[in-house]
């Protein structure tokens, strides 16, 4: 009988650096204690049979090199295609079941976690199995999701879900993952259950910032997002639109907030209240300058704060989906307050990355 393989991968929250990673700016993200699980084995038949009970579907297709994609963002086939280009073979076929507790299409990286988990499963179930590092899994997942389909996203989702815990991710000039070990308490994740347009929002925010940078560089060729600050903004206001100014100032301030948060998370004198304050500052920029929050999410955050949470923000690309608050004390009370505003609340903690389950 073929050996059963079980792997799981967490979702994630972006603590600091929302809408920054695809600009090449660093982010700080945390894996969360809601995970996607895959359990399966080789088939002795060159097919992939994937059971998806959460959405009451089953996929079945023949595995062969360079499979055409059956639909937009066909991640099951894209991961297989990329791995086969790298020499993996799956002549024995696959049958597996995928189940998840990560909210779907809500900003908690359900698709990236699924893809990282699928890749982890595939490299262990291949005809000649291998064990990849979390960083290697993340790199393949990024290629399978973003590069393969020419999407606009960054690398945060893939590295945070694969590596787990709290990470500082820098992608320019080269990828650098630094694991942070702050003593964090509980968070409460709130799903607004409002649909979101991830691709559209990323294109609007990213496009606006890049247009602003291009205009500035036409006059100041040495300009860089990595070194700019608020003192420079007055030099640019005459040739930027109001929206471009707001997007640029929001991103500049969020970069400043991230650097303060990085120092805090590395400090032996970690302060829960300071973390909450920085989250609130980040949310102000996301709401007022990037305009990615919604009235319902604003109310959910405020309800959490009124119930004792120390700070919070929208999570992910925005326009709907999830928010979270930091609530190291009385998270049950905070969760009830969030649900009183029509959200679905989950008490979460920081969790490990992709792993083989025994």
**Structure confidence by residue, pLDDT tens digits, 161-191:** 999 999 999 988 888 999 999 999 999 999 9
Query: Under a CB-based contact definition with an 8 Å cutoff, are residues 22 and 153 in contact?
Result: yes
**Residues 6+ away with beta carbon under 8 Å from 43:** 2, 49, 92, 93, 94, 95
Query: Under a CB-based contact definition with an 8 Å cutoff, are residues 84 and 65 in contact?
Result: yes
The helix (H) or strand (E) run that includes residue 225 is none
Share of the chain above pLDDT 70, in %: 99
pLDDT at 228: 79
326 pairs with which residues across the strands? 187, 311
- Strand ranges of the sheet holding 322-326, from the earlier edge strand across to the other edge: 311-314, 322-326, 187-191, 344-348
Coil, strand or helix: which one is 35? strand
pLDDT at 57: 96
Mean pLDDT (whole number) for 287-304: 97
Phi, psi for residue 194 in degrees, rounded to 5: -90, 130
Up-side HSE of residue 224: CA atoms within 13 Å toward CB? 7
Domains of the chain: 5-183 (3.30.230.10), 187-348 (3.30.70.890)
Q: How far apart are CA 12 and CA 351, in angstroms?
A: 9
pLDDT at 1: 59
What average pLDDT does the structure give for the chain?
94
First to last CA, the chain: 18
pTM: 0.93
Burial 137-165 (b: 16+ CB within 10 A, else e): bbbbbbbbbbebeeebbbbbbbbbbbbbb
pLDDT at 225: 85
């Amino acid at each position: 009988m073929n050996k059963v393989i079980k792997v799981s991968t967490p979702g994630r929250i972006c603590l600091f650096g929302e809408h920054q990673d695809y600009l090449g700016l660093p982010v700080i993200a945390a894996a969360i204690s809601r995970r996607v699980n895959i359990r399966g084995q080789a088939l002795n038949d060159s097919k992939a049979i994937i059971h998806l009970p959460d959405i009451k579907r089953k996929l079945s297709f023949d595995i062969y090199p360079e499979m055409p994609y059956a639909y937009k963002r066909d991640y099951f086939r894209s991961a297989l295609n990329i791995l086969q280009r790298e020499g993996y073979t799956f002549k024995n076929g696959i049958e597996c079941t995928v189940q998840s507790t990560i909210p779907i299409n809500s900003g908690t990286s359900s698709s990236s976690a699924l893809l990282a988990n699928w890749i982890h499963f595939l490299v262990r179930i291949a005809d000649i199995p291998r064990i990849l590092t979390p960083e290697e899994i993340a790199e393949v997942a990024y290629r399978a999701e973003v590069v393969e389909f020419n999407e606009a996203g960054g690398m945060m989702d893939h590295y945070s879900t694969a590596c787990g815990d709290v990470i500082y991710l820098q992608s320019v000039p080269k990828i650098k993952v630094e694991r942070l070990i702050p003593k964090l308490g509980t968070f409460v994740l709130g799903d607004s259950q409002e649909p979101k347009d991830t691709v559209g929002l990323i294109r609007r925010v990213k496009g606006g910032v890049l247009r602003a940078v291009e205009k500035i560089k036409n006059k100041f060729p040495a300009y860089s997002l990595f070194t700019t600050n608020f003192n420079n903004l007055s030099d640019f206001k005459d040739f930027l639109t109001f929206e471009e100014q707001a997007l640029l100032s929001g991103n500049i301030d969020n970069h400043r907030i991230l650097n303060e948060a990085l120092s805090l998370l590395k400090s032996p004198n970690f302060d829960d209240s300071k973390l909450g304050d920085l989250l609130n500052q980040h949310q102000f920029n996301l709401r007022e300058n990037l305009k990615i929050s919604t009235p319902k999410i604003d109310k959910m955050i405020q309800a959490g704060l009124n119930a004792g949470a120390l700070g919070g923000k929208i999570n992910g690309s925005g326009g709907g989906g999830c928010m979270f608050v930091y609530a190291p004390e009385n998270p049950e009370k905070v969760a009830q307050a969030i649900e009183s505003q029509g959200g679905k609340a989950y008490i979460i903690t920081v969790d490990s990355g992709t792993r083989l389950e025994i």
